[in-house]
Chains A and B, each alone.
Chain A
Amino acid sequence: MTSTEREYPASIPAIFLMFFRIGLLSFGGGLSGWVFREAVLIRRWISEDEFLSGLAVSQVLPGANIANLSVYIGNKLKGPLGSVAALVGLLGGPFFAVIALASSYSILQKTPFAEDALDGVTAAAIGLILIVAVKGARRATHRPEALAAFLACFIAVGLLHWSLLAVVVVVGPLSVFAAWFRRRARA
């Protein structure tokens, strides 16, 4: 086990390679968990707070969350070229992997246990994104109004299956207003 802290300069090729790796390794989903691990924990390119607020923006905007997150992080590190490197890196590997799988699908279908193994990989991969969810939840507990917004969104969308858009339209502005009001009151 090496305890030396390595330095990871965020160059365009380094950004491309990190997202290319994540794209290829992210079996069973859990991509934001990978990004959190690689960009925040290992490389320290962005802070936990920057990651979580980027995640929020990625979810609210249309498009695959992970694609938006890669555009956000790429832009934060190296501007437009950084975004292109991150997005192309992220999708490049899976593009060919999906086509390779599609052309060998009949073989895959006959493989015993393939479905079971895939379910197991997916469950383990969810563990990776669960860590991000727990970080977000813990951060929300620092302020009562943030905790309320967090619980409202989770319960309404996750447990009651209300429309995500409707929930964001109602809870989003309330939560932002509460944060604004609290800053004002303190200032």
Chain B
Amino acid sequence: MRDDLPLGLLIVFVPFSLLSIGGGASVLAGIQHQVVDVHHWVTAREFVDLFALSRAAPGPGTMLATAIGWHVAGWMGALAATVGLFLPSSLLCYAVVQFWNRHRGKSWHTALEEGLAPVGSGLFLAGVVSILRIGGGGVLAWVLAIGSAGLLTWRPKLHPLLLFAVGGAIFVAVRAYFGPSA
């Protein structure tokens, strides 16, 4: 039974790969349902912990799948979940991009590109706002985000990691002084 776990993970994650329109966050609830309620691979509490943990790690948020896979079935599980979630959508994307580039310069291609760019930008800004809203940072997070954007525009050579460290320190300091509600 335990030997089948990596395969099981692969089978569960592949559909989510192709369903995750608008980014990985859109399938979080579905993944939670599958791995907690349907397959009982992790408890609800473990899922929340793994989610928090994948946020603390670098990389896309959907590396949550890797953490779940590792928790459930070790290295093979981590590999199966990662491949299951990232490979199908990447193959589809490759096919579309290939087609896309082959028709570069045609007028319908230019129209598509010009028409889709503002749609993509609008969705992107919407995503930024929703991350700021879901993340538990409150007003301070907004101020910090806008401040760091301003600083990086003004001084593009400034290393972002330096800014991240300062941001983390500001949050720790403000919350230690004003309490966790700040």
Determine which of A56, A101, A147 lies in contact with B57 in the assembled complex, contact meaning CB atoms within 8 Å: A101
User: Which residues of chain A (1-43) have a CB below 8 Å from chain B?
Assistant: 1, 23-34, 37, 41
Tell me the complex Cα distance, A32–B115, Å: 20
Interface of B is mostly: helix
Judge whether B152 and A128 touch: CB under 8 Å. Answer: yes
Contact (Cβ within 8 A) A61 B93: yes
Cβ-defined contact, A105 with B117, below 8 A: no
The reply on A78 being an interface residue by CB < 8 A is no
Whether the pair A99, B78 counts as a contact (CB closer than 8 A) is yes
B11 at the interface (CB under 8 A from A): no
Interface size class of B (residues with CB under 8 A): 35 or more
Q: Chain A residues with Cβ under 8 A from B97's Cβ?
A: 57, 71-72, 75-76, 83
Interface residues in chain A, defined as those with a beta carbon under 8 Å from any beta carbon in chain B: 1, 23-34, 37, 41, 49, 52-53, 55-68, 71-72, 75-76, 80, 83, 87, 90-91, 93-95, 97-99, 101-102, 105, 108-109, 113-114, 116-134, 136-137, 139-140, 143, 146-147, 149-154, 157-159, 164-165, 167-168, 171-172, 175-180, 183
Q: List B residues at the A interface (Cβ < 8 Å).
A: 17-24, 26, 49-50, 53-63, 66-67, 70-71, 75, 78, 82, 85-86, 88-90, 92-94, 96-98, 100-101, 107-108, 110-132, 135-137, 140-142, 144-153, 156-157, 160-161, 163-172, 175-176, 180
